[in-house]
Chain A
Amino acid sequence: MSERVVENLNRSLKALMAADASVYFIGEDVLDPYGGAFKVSRGLSGSFPERVFSTPISEAGIMGLAGGLALAGQKAIVELMFGDFIFLAFDQIINFASKSVTMYGETLPYHLLVRCPVGGNRGYGATHSQSVQKFFIGIPNLALYELSPLHDNNVWIPKLMNCGQPCVLFENKILYTQPQLGPGPVDDLFQVDFLDAAGLMARACIEPDPAGKVLLLAPGGMFHACLKAARQLFLEQEIEVQIVVPLQLYPFPAESLRELLPQYRAIHVVEESTAGGTWGAEVTATIQKIFAGNFPRPIHLIHSLDSIIPSARHLESEVLVQPDTIVKAVSGRAT
């Protein structure tokens, strides 16, 4: 059986901590045998007991602890139990960790990685289901990434840890149990390749030529919804769709897509966030900026409703973007 995303992530964290004795891991309920609410930290406390801190329920205290370790030249990974709780640590992230990189007049290297499980479709309700990415867009010295089943964490976790500024890795909870994928076929129709030398931009397509096709630009947490929609659009309506999955959400590396983007017939930026001030709006603005405001194709935003996230399955699926939401948006625009 192939590796699941949670296993890939866990393996990358173990390898990082084994290779680098300055890495600390901090979070709630992260000790074995529990190993964190989503089991991402399983085995870490057994292997590195002196560098794993299972903490009180104190997100501000946790984030400050990590910030202090980073200030002292160490490296810290924070596991938030649910992304919704990141607001309790907002001050430490915004006012301390990210500002400290440049607030004192010189650039301080800062090794801090915040892991932030997000997303719904699990019936957890309004305070355990949000996609909080949009609240962190545009913070100086704070880079945002999203877990993806197409990107190998063993490659990216060490890079994020060592990039010299605080990073947040958003992890859509539905991904943990999904298989870890990579370059090559993902099913009988779609295959995955990478668009840039760095490997930040993964693409799933039926055929590589983008000309005249529709693009779904979606972070990792939306990959499976997009893939399902893309299959349906192709099989039922003969609309050929490509899916581009950027690992890095902010700053959005639009430049690496400069050649590719105008070749599509239309672009849909897909995310699970509720409406208003979305990542998609930022992506659109960034694309327009590199094309000096004259990007020649329509860019549409697909996101969840302007609503709190309800708990009951039928209500939640009405609010959050589903594969069918994407199908309707794409086919509606395509006719």
Chain B
Amino acid sequence: MTISASPPPIAAAATLQADLQLLLLIRHFENLLLDLFDTGKLNGTTHTCLGQEYIPVALTPLLRADDYIFSNHRGHGHYLARFGDPEGLLAEIMGKAGAVCHGVGGSQHIKRGRYLSTGVQGESLPVANGVAVHLKCEGKGGVAVAYIGDGTWGQGAVYEALNMAKLWSLPVVVVVENNHIAQTTSQARNMAGSIAKRAAAFDVDFIHIDGSDLEAIRQTLTPALARVRTQHQPLVIEFETQRLGPHSKGDDTRSTEMLAELKRHDWHARYQAAHPELFQTVEREIQTKLAGLQQEIEKRPPAKWLRKTA
């Protein structure tokens, strides 16, 4: 089948500057949240994606406005890479006016158009299948993308969903952010076998990505995504990555040596070294912007939930 011309992607074309802006926006947004928690200015919980920012940024120009994206508890980066909207998200997390979900969803329950996050592991894969049935029926080449972690593979729903996605040839992309840790439990204690062999068991296409070079990732994934769009074959992409921050807030049980080792692989230092001047300019811009945003949102009135009562 042929697919119609792609609608314009959500984000601007992936120039180096645009990439750096998104990468650093997510990095400093997450740092800001941890600071706000430390100073008692945030209520509830948060799960930051420090170290994993490059994954949704790499995918951004490959995804279309009519694709569905399913995120999870660790979803700020997914949202920011999709919409470039720190204002709506920060207001949501702070429960202030202008919140993207009126303060009801909070950090881990965000819906905006065809983007949706929710806080139960593995729940989104069967839902992505349902959406994909419709996308396939529409015949416009849209796909359903679901971000999961390595820990999510503990859930049976993941296997039920992969089985159905392959059986019925559904345009589903499972993006696995394999940071080798589930909350505080290392993968060695959580997972027998491998993600690759799990995909193979269902005869589902599988790509393993090691490294954080955005262009290299995109080159690898572009033809694979085209296959999902045109041939409706599900795809599992495993990103070898690292979570540099705590699971939530101050609950990291890993040693400083281990964290230092993980940090050696951080994209931040690599991109900084490769493009020192542009990097510094963009980073300053982002930090200034976020600091101003925080101060402005703090002064806003509380978010209002216009609840329909039965």
Contact = CB atoms under 8 A, between A and B. Distances in A.
B133 A60 contact: no
A65 B108 CA distance: 21
A105 B103 contact: yes
Most buried by B among A104, A107, A251: A104
Contact of A103 (B109, B132, B157, B167): B109
Given A67-B126, A102-B307, A61 B164 contact: yes
A24 interface: yes
Contacts of A96: 118, 120, 123, 127
Interface stretch (A70-78, A168-176, A292-300): A70-78
A64 B105 contact: no
B164 A68 contact: no
A217 to B, nearest CB: 22
Interface in B247-264: none
Nearest to A107: B308
B126 A71 contact: no
Given A56-B163, A61-B163, A106 B126 contact: no
Contact of B157 (A64, A69, A107): A64
B6 to A, nearest CB: 19
Given A60-B157, A91-B120, A96-B118, A68 B99 contact: no
Contacts of A60: 126, 156-157, 160
A69 B127 CA distance: 8
Interface string A93-106: 00110001011111
A102 B307 CA distance: 8
B158 to A, nearest CB: 9
Interface string A140-154: 000000000000000
Interface in B156-198: 156-157, 160-161, 163-164, 167-168
Given A61-B157, A67-B130, A92 B123 contact: yes
Given A61-B161, A64-B123, A68-B128, A74 B110 contact: no
A286 to B, nearest CB: 13
B130 A65 contact: yes
Interface string B90-112: 00000000011111110001110
A58 interface: yes
Interface string A32-56: 0000000000000000001001011
Interface residues of B, number: 42
B163 A74 contact: no
Contacts of A68: 126-134, 144
A31 B266 CA distance: 52
A66 interface: yes
Nearest to B133: A69
A219 B212 CA distance: 60
A190 B169 CA distance: 55
B123 A56 contact: no
B105 A103 contact: yes
B134 A73 contact: yes
Given A64-B157, A64-B161, A251-B310, A95 B120 contact: yes
Contacts of B131: 68-69, 71-72
Of A56, A102, A103, most buried by chain B (CB within 10 Å of CB) is: A103
A73 B128 CA distance: 13
B112 to A, nearest CB: 8
Nearest to B135: A72
Interface of B: 68, 99-105, 109-111, 116, 118, 120, 123-135, 137, 144, 156-157, 160-161, 163-164, 167-168, 305-308, 310
Enumerate the 6 nearest inter-chain pairs by beta-carbon distance, A residue then B residue, closest first: A68-B130, A64-B126, A61-B160, A105-B102, A104-B111, A58-B160
Given A62-B126, A64-B123, A69-B131, 10 more contacts: A61-B126, A64-B127, A64-B161, A67-B126, A68-B130, A69-B133, A70-B130, A72-B135, A102-B104, A105-B105
11 contacts: A64-B130, A64-B160, A68-B131, A74-B134, A91-B123, A95-B123, A96-B127, A103-B118, A104-B116, A105-B100, A108-B111
